[in-house]
Structure 1
Amino acid sequence: MSSPFLTPFTQHIENEITRHAGVELSVLRLDTMHPFVNGNKWFKLKYNLLEAKQQNFTTLLTFGGAYSNHIFATAAAGNLFGFRTIGVIRGEEKLPLNPTLSFATQQGMQLVYLSRETYRQKHTRELQEDLKQCFGDIFIIPEGGSNLNGVRGCTEIIEDDGAFDTICLACGTGTTLAGIALSLNPRQRVIGFPVLKKGEFLTQEIENLLSNYLDSGLTAPNNSPASWELMCDYHFGGYAKVNDDLLMFIQQFQLECGIQLDYLYTAKMFYGVMDLIRREIFSKGDRLLLVHTGGLQGNLGMKQRL
């Protein structure tokens, strides 16, 4: 499958906080790869799309909320690579459609709505069989691309020879963290910043992804993951929750560094990293790489809600 994507670049960031702490800070700009299918979304979709092609599927079905970056990216990727797409959306239809769902339909995605109670059964064989009965021969991608294909794609995000000591990223499902951990050398580490309240549950989710991936026989740059940990205190009240401190941080960061952050994921991680640097959690000389996982499309919908 030929790639229409640009190679992401690394941008160095320096400010009073980093200079005082004596740490080096860089940002991996995955948000610049493609106008619609960018960030970690492409990496989580890549091998799912390849498997669908290899098995001669023409229709992709996936799941997400009304503001889902994954729904947005899957709709665009399906349009790019010639798939019909179906998005199963959590909750009731609300008209007019928000910018995320409106874009998805413009890309040709058919939207189907499930009650929140039914949506919680999305991983069960019973519901998936019902969907196959309804829509025919479909290739099902889990919410957020959170499967072993997604992990495999995320092993390709970091391509360096140990240039950084610590990799930092926002976490929704933990798939991206698992893939990155499998791509690093033993001297490096990963810090994930869950955007969900009580994000400690992701520890078990990530451990399961890593164990299942290593047991699957799929290729990985390393036979064992680098060390990793979660910082669960920067969710700002939970998914899609923000406050004045975070909003001010987003504005100031863009003015100082010229980098736009998304409200739901990267802003919370960047805020958390800066707070940890300020608190001297990192050692002098530490080299940090922050992964900008895209998702800027969600800002328009968030601004309408604020």
Structure 2
Amino acid sequence: MTHPELRPRPPSPLVEAADERFAAHGVRLLLKRDDLVHPELPGNKWRKLAPNLRAALETGHDRLVTFGGAYSNHLRATAAAGRLLGLGTVGIVRGDELADRPLNDSLARCAADGMRLHFITRSEYRRKADPEVLPRLLAAAGAGDAYVVPEGGSNAPALTGCAELGRELRDVCDVAAVACGTGGTLAGLAAGLSPAQRALGVPVLAGGFLGAEIRSLQAQAFGGPAGSWTLAEGYDHGGYARVPRPLEDFARDFESRHGLPVERVYVAKLLWALTALTRAGAFPRGTRVAAVVTGRG
């Protein structure tokens, strides 16, 4: 019997935003309000976690373990999911120096939802997927028998959940755009779109590494490439969780124009990139661009 929290949810709303910065170039901006898909697990967090949560319950696990940085929205979502489903949660956090500091708002929320936090060095964290390192990390965190959800929730089950997002956008836009952290949402989104559509990812981290990650994820989930997708690099604004003043001003202005709360780490960078690309003529006149509003990333 499916847990009530894991039953299919209705499609998230799609609304058109009247914005002269896009209209001046003949582009229609649509907002896919995936931040409204679940009250505590907004947007891509719900879509990526739900298949993993079902798998954890079906295989008899009573605990989840996952990974993230000090401001990880994925950690917050996993902790909330554990509370809602009655599952224990362990978060392995990048940066052992954080163990001696007061918890920031994100980690405090995780702890309040019952997540046990285990801090490791940054060098250990970089090797967390190594088959020789992972078992030792899990044992040290007291999570050796827990169901493992990867960083960002991006794995083959997660991509099947994100493909549903693409199916919800079939034939209602020409380009479906989303901010990217680990690339899982973009990889699944592209797979769910029709052949005539394109998915566009805006990385929120610098580095140019996502292309290979997305190809690898699609191979794991679908056996090979799935759908059409591209990346718009150069809009990370200095790196993850960096919100310089121009980006903050842009987000506030967008909120004022459209009455929409704009999450800063992911959504603001996505909307900034789409505005800049439109001004640069990246989209032909008549293009319908759907921006996936993921809420807390």
TM-score, length-scaled by structure 2? 0.92
Which of 46, 59, 70 is residue 63 of structure 2 equivalent to?
59
Q: Give the drift of 1:76.
A: 0.2
Q: How far apart in 2 are the matches of 1:136 and 1:234?
A: 38
Q: Give the drift of 1:96.
A: 2.2
Which of 17, 20, 26 is residue 22 of structure 1 equivalent to?
26
Q: Give the drift of 1:124.
A: 1.7
**Alignment of structure 1 residues 148-227 onto 2, 5 Å:** 148-158=156-166, 159-198=168-207, 200-215=208-223, 225-227=226-228
Q: Give the drift of 1:244.
A: 1.9
Q: How far apart in 2 are the matches of 1:250 and 1:25?
A: 16
Which of 2, 5, 12 is residue 3 of structure 1 equivalent to?
5
Cα deviation, 1:153-188, whole Å, max 9, x if unaligned, reads 111113144111000111111100010111011100
Greater Cα offset, 125-134 or 62-71: 125-134
Counterpart AA for 1:279? A
Counterpart AA for 1:212? Q
Counterpart AA for 2:285? K
Counterpart AA for 2:155? N
Counterpart AA for 1:258? G
Partner of residue 254, structure 1: 255
Question: Is this contact kept in 2: 1:6–1:34, CA < 8 A?
Answer: no
Greater Cα offset, 176-185 or 127-136: 127-136
Q: How far apart in 1 are the matches of 2:118 and 2:279?
A: 46
Counterpart AA for 1:206? I
Partner of residue 143, structure 1: 151
Aligned-partner SS, 1:289: strand
Partner of residue 125, structure 1: 131
Aligned-partner SS, 2:64: strand
Q: How far apart in 2 are the matches of 1:160 and 1:43?
A: 14
Q: Give the drift of 1:282.
A: 0.8
Q: How far apart in 1 are the matches of 2:127 and 2:14?
A: 40
**Are positions 1:32 and 2:36 aligned together?**
yes
Identity of aligned residues (%): 39
Q: How far apart in 1 are the matches of 2:201 and 2:144?
A: 38
User: Aligned pair in 2 of structure 1 residues 196, 213: CA closer, same or farther (>3 Å)?
Assistant: same
Q: How far apart in 1 are the matches of 2:199 and 2:100?
A: 39
TM-score, length-scaled by structure 1? 0.90
Aligned alpha-carbon RMSD (Å): 1.6
Cα deviation, 1:212-257, whole Å, max 9, x if unaligned, reads 2222xxxxxxx96221111101111111222221111001000001
Q: How far apart in 2 are the matches of 1:201 and 1:112?
A: 27
User: Aligned pair in 2 of structure 1 residues 99, 136: CA closer, same or farther (>3 Å)?
Assistant: same
User: Aligned pair in 2 of structure 1 residues 154, 161: CA closer, same or farther (>3 Å)?
Assistant: closer
Q: How far apart in 2 are the matches of 1:62 and 1:145?
A: 8
Aligned-partner SS, 2:286: coil
Give unmatched runs, 5+ long, in structure 1.
Answer: 216-222, 297-306
Aligned-partner SS, 2:192: coil
Counterpart AA for 2:260? I
Which of 34, 48, 54 is residue 52 of structure 2 equivalent to?
48
Counterpart AA for 1:271? W
Q: Give the drift of 1:136.
A: 3.9
Counterpart AA for 1:116? R
Counterpart AA for 1:119? Y
Partner of residue 82, structure 1: 86
Greater Cα offset, 189-198 or 152-161: 152-161
Moved over 4 A (4+): 4-7
Cα deviation, 1:59-90, whole Å, max 9, x if unaligned, reads 10000011100000000001111110000111
Give unmatched runs, 5+ long, in structure 2.
Answer: none
Greater Cα offset, 75-84 or 276-285: 276-285
Q: How far apart in 2 are the matches of 1:94 and 1:169?
A: 35
Q: Give the drift of 1:31.
A: 1.0
Q: How far apart in 2 are the matches of 1:94 and 1:259?
A: 37
Partner of residue 116, structure 1: 122
Q: How far apart in 1 are the matches of 2:11 and 2:74?
A: 20
Counterpart AA for 1:140? V
Q: How far apart in 1 are the matches of 2:143 and 2:54?
A: 21
Q: How far apart in 2 are the matches of 1:6 and 1:190?
A: 22
Q: How far apart in 2 are the matches of 1:225 and 1:9?
A: 25
Partner of residue 299, structure 1: none
Q: Give the drift of 1:94.
A: 4.5
Aligned-partner SS, 1:282: coil
